[in-house]
Structures are given as structure tokens and as C-alpha cells.
Amino acid sequence: MFLGHFALAMATKKVVPKASLGTLVLSAQFADCLWPVLLLLGVEQVRIAPGITRVTPLDFISYPISHSLLLQLVWGLLLGGAYFFWRHDFRTALVVGALLPTHWLLDYFAHRPDMPLYPGGPKVGLGMWNSLPLTVIIEFGLFCIGLLLYLRAACSKGRRSYGLWSFVLFLAVVYAASLFGPPPPSVRVVALSALALWLTIPWAAWGDRQREAQPANLSP
């Protein structure tokens, strides 16, 4: 899943309005940000296998550090702890930490049975990616819901909110291109391209700074 993770990050702003959207994106997409780094280091493995699912040609051979449920719980605990020591806000730190392993849950619905419960453990997945129409409906549906909830939580400080809308447009275009474009030429290209996810963190934070908490009596 791709857009669904960003959708959950945006929706979570409604729960913890003090948290930067950049922080929420970091938590929701931490696994996918860590994954290309581990790929380039040779710690985790993927291969390009066109046709393995209708949505992605990637066969995720091994990614226990970035994508196992157990390790995502650990990463969430570490990130939540770091946020608490930085901001001294226990409630927000708890939500930030809990958001991180939701990445595994969403991927469990999307992936074929390649999502490890723990390093060396069984792998599971419901295989939503075997249906392109279902994937598109779910991903863009979640994205629209997440964006709507974010808009209910944070209104623009002025007439312009180009940070947020450029961020939203970028995600939609990149995802559409990944769905309908050709398979990547090599695993190295996959890893280097995936490193661009790190840019979404400061981009989301920039867009969030152009907005402020939405008064309860205003519509989005």
C-alpha cells in the first residue's frame, strides 16, 4: 500500500493536532523509508518479477527489519519514546508510536503472503494487489478520506496552501505512474527511487506549517 499510509498520517492529525504532519508521515511511512536503505546495504532483498501481482512487479523476498510486525512495534516504541523526550507530550508520543506499526496492518491487506510476523517467522498477506480495480478504489478512497479529515483538523493560515496541495498532487501522480508505468529496470533503481520517500517528510511538514488548528465550529 502507498496512498493509504499517507492517508492515515493525515487522518491522525485530527487526533493529535499538535503533531506536525511531517512527524506523522515519518511514523506512518517509516518502514518504506528504511527499506531502500537496507536494500542498498544488501540487508534486505527484493526482485523484479512482472506479473507476480496485478499492481506491483516486486517480489519482496526478505525484509524482516523494516516490515516485520515485531520490528515495527519496536520501531514504534523507539520513535514514540524519542518524540516524548523531544516534546514532553506523552499523549502525542503515544499516538506517534502507535501509528508506526499500522504500516504493517495496511500492508497485510495489500500484499501477497510475504509480510513477516517476526524475523524468520511465518509470512502473511491477504493479496489485495491481485486486483487492480480494488486496489485503486481502496487506495484513492482512503486517501480522500484522510485528506478530508486533515482539512477538518487544520485550515489554511492564508489564501495560499500550496505546500499541502503540491504534496497531495505529487503523491497522486507518483502513485498513478507506479500503477500504469513499466516495471523498473533494476533493483538498484527501485531502491534509489524509494529513497525519495524521505523528501515527503519535510514536504509534509512545510505544508502543515502553512495551516493551523481548525476551529471546531468551522466546516472544512
131 assigned to some structural domain? yes
219 assigned to some structural domain? no
21 assigned to some structural domain? yes
3-state secondary structure 10-57: HHHCCCCCCCCHHHHHHHHCHHHHHHHHHHHHCCCEEEECCCCCCCCC
Residue 13: give the domain boundaries: 3-209
Q: What is the pTM of this model?
A: 0.94
Model confidence at 150: pLDDT above 90: yes
| Interval 48-71: pLDDT, tens | 999 999 999 999 999 999 999 999
187 assigned to some structural domain? yes
Whose CA is closest to 72, among 112, 37, 36, 118? 118
69 assigned to some structural domain? yes
| Interval 163-208: pLDDT, tens | 999 999 999 999 999 999 999 999 999 999 999 999 999 999 999 9
Three-class secondary structure of residue 124 per DSSP = strand
215 assigned to some structural domain? no
- On whether the CB atoms of residues 167 and 200 are closer than 8 A, the answer is yes
Packing angle, helices 21-28 and 3-12, rounded to 10: 140
53 assigned to some structural domain? yes
218 assigned to some structural domain? no
Structural domain total, the chain: 1
Grid cell at residue 72: 515495527
Give the E-state strand segments of 93-187 in sequence order.
115-116, 123-124, 154-156
